[in-house]
A and B are shown apart, each in its own frame.
Chain A
Amino acid sequence: MGYVLKKSIDIFNVKLSKRENSHSGLYGQRKYKLLKSLLQSISRYNQVTIVYSSTSRKGMVNISTAIEMIPQLTRGLAVTISVLIASAFIAYIVAFIAGLSKISKSILLRKFTGVYVEVFRGTSLIVQLFWLYYAIPMLFNIQLGSNWWIGVIAIGLNYGSYMSEVVRGSILAVDKGQIEASIALNMTRYQRMRLVILPQAIRMMIPDFGNYTIQIMKATSLVSLIGMRDILYYGDIMRSSNLSQAPLIYVVVLLMYFILALPFVWLTRKGESIAKKGVASQ
């Protein structure tokens, strides 16, 4: 057993240990502990950890199975990431357009934007997705493009409506003295916005935009419902061919989403500290 203990165990490096099935005892337990502590550190997903431990009696050695799932699931990574990037991009643009429209001089523009924001915030993203996917093509006989585009548009419009409020709120939160100073320097409305207000407002938006981007990342999993082959889709496929592995499959799926979110968590933190500088406070 000594040689087992001496090995430093890297849970993502299991392929090295072909032996573990025959020496399942301590080795498997140790790995199981590692996985468990990893899962516990992700407190949000506690519920799932418990589900997993109920199957752990027979599934103690399944860590290698879990690792083997990863290549399968990463086949969906490209879709998840491309949908994330595209829908986040659309959400940002829509957020700025709608946010600026809501504070424009034109009543018509304000009302129109108001309706858009309330409709998209007030109804569920899944239903919006199904509307774009099933209802609109039937009702109006138009094709909105591929499933990918439909998913991206639905998520982009939905989160754009939430984020437009962040844009609007941040712009209105810029100190009035800043606007007065830029008027006193004879800037045009457009120059005031571009040179003085937006640079400060954007700094204030960064934390909220970071959080919404993480939410968009999680929402991309909905595109599996309209037949896109993302991470969750492959998870579902694997589960249907191996029902007893369902808990483990979804743990791995969760972990993958969690790892995807990490860069955004980090960027948001970094952004927050940048944002603290460079905003007028009085």
Chain B
Amino acid sequence: MSEQSVKDIEKINTLNTEQIVKYRNVTKSFGDFHVLKGINLDIYSGEKVAIIGPSGSGKTTIIRMLMTLEEPTSGDIIVDGKNLWKMKRNGTSIPANEKHISELRGNIGMVFQHFNLFPHMTILENCMVAPIHVKKEDKKEVQERSIQMLERVGLGNKLNFYPSQLSGGQKQRVAMARALVMRPKIMLFDEVTSALDPELVGEVLEVIRDIAHNDDMAMILVTHEMDFALDVADKVLFLDQGVIIEQGTASEVLEHSKNERVQAFLRRFRKI
């Protein structure tokens, strides 16, 4: 075998054969209300996945369960080869304890619709607090990295500002920097532009695009920006009433879908 082809195989191995996240028959109910009905989903290292679908279809719930903000009613979520919500003890499977969850949660970062920055900290402190306290990293090193990250999202000149002094778009960029300095393997974005004034959407999408093209972490983006999804996503899922009714490449789902419900959704979207 030539050296080149060995390298290619290695590349394929690291890029495509390793599933960083697996959903297996995952369901979620709030009381009698079945929000998710058997989700099966594979996400590979470095893959960029967009989730689209009508309001209330369960998009947010899918990623909140991965962030451990919501516990699945049944099924398994596997992160980096380990079951997120269950652990083994004496050969039997029991609900995961906080230590187990926290170990796996360290792989995951999330950016929220409403930013959720810490209002009592400057934006630099917002970025530094978790690496220092959670990962126990060196303060100086964290500070340098945080400044770099804030510069990357275009806020290097506002390090000592408080969130209340920033625009929505700036806040959302800080929120991304804060998640990025934790160096997650998977980043979750829940409609991160939908709380923004239209003229601020562009600057935030630009940062995500930059991350998507230059960083090798996996990303799951819940979004209503179809053109943006077409641009950055390797894979698009269409969710309707708690079921993934179509998945494929961005172009397959967004441009050439044969599914009537997907077409109807996209048509409605184009009209708006």
Contacts and interface: CB of A to CB of B under 8 A. Distances in A.
Contact of A184 (B120, B162, B179): B179
Interface stretch (B15-23, B109-117, B251-259): B109-117
Interface string A185-215: 1111101000110011001000000000000
A70 interface: no
B109, B112, B133, B182, most chain A CB atoms within 10 A: B133
Contacts, number: 68
Contact of B178 (A185, A196, A282): A185
Contacts of A200: 119-120
A184 B67 contact: yes
A225 to B, nearest CB: 43
A49 to B, nearest CB: 44
A175 B116 CA distance: 9
Given A278-B162, A282-B114, A183 B69 contact: yes
A186 B102 contact: yes
Contact of B134 (A191, A199, A277, A279): A191
Contact of A195 (B67, B110, B133): B133
Interface range on chain B (Cβ under 8 Å from partner): 20 to 34
B68 interface: yes
A42 B60 CA distance: 57
A199 B164 CA distance: 16
Interface in B199-221: none
Contacts of B119: 200, 277-281
Interface in A262-282: 277-282
Given A186-B106, A191-B133, A277-B162, A180 B120 contact: no
A188 B97 CA distance: 12
Contacts of B120: 199-200, 203, 278-279
Interface string A166-184: 0000000001011011011
Contacts of B108: 184
Contacts of A184: 67, 69, 108-110, 112, 179
A196 B121 CA distance: 9
Given A178-B118, A188-B102, A191-B134, A183 B68 contact: yes
A199 B129 CA distance: 14
A187 B116 CA distance: 15
A195 B162 CA distance: 16
A177 B116 contact: yes
Given A180-B112, A277-B162, A278-B162, A187 B134 contact: yes
B98 to A, nearest CB: 7
A168 B106 CA distance: 30
B37 interface: no
B130 interface: yes
Nearest to B104: A186
B188 to A, nearest CB: 8
B116 A178 contact: yes
B118 A181 contact: yes
Contacts of B98: 188-189
A177 to B, nearest CB: 4
Greatest chain A CB density within 10 A among B98, B117, B130 is at B130
B185 interface: no
Main secondary structure of the interface of A (DSSP, over half): helix
A188 B134 CA distance: 8
Interface in A139-186: 175, 177-178, 180-181, 183-186
B112 A196 contact: no
Contacts of A280: 116, 118-119
Interface in B151-168: 162, 164
Contact of A186 (B69, B105, B117): B105
Contacts of A191: 133-134
B102 A180 contact: no
Contacts of A203: 120
Contacts of B118: 178, 181, 196, 280
A187 B68 CA distance: 12
A281 B171 CA distance: 14
Given A185-B134, A186-B130, A186-B134, A177 B106 contact: no
B152 to A, nearest CB: 19
B242 to A, nearest CB: 22
Interface of A: 175, 177-178, 180-181, 183-189, 191, 195-196, 199-200, 203, 277-282
Interface of B: 67-69, 98, 102, 105-106, 108-110, 112, 114, 116-120, 129-130, 133-134, 162, 164, 178-179, 182
9 residue pairs, one from A and one from B, having the closest CB atoms: A181-B116, A185-B130, A278-B120, A177-B116, A184-B110, A280-B119, A199-B120, A186-B105, A186-B134
Given A180-B69, A188-B98, A188-B134, 9 more contacts: A180-B67, A181-B112, A185-B134, A187-B130, A189-B98, A196-B118, A277-B119, A278-B119, A282-B114
11 contacts: A184-B67, A184-B112, A185-B134, A185-B182, A186-B106, A186-B134, A187-B133, A191-B134, A195-B133, A200-B120, A279-B119
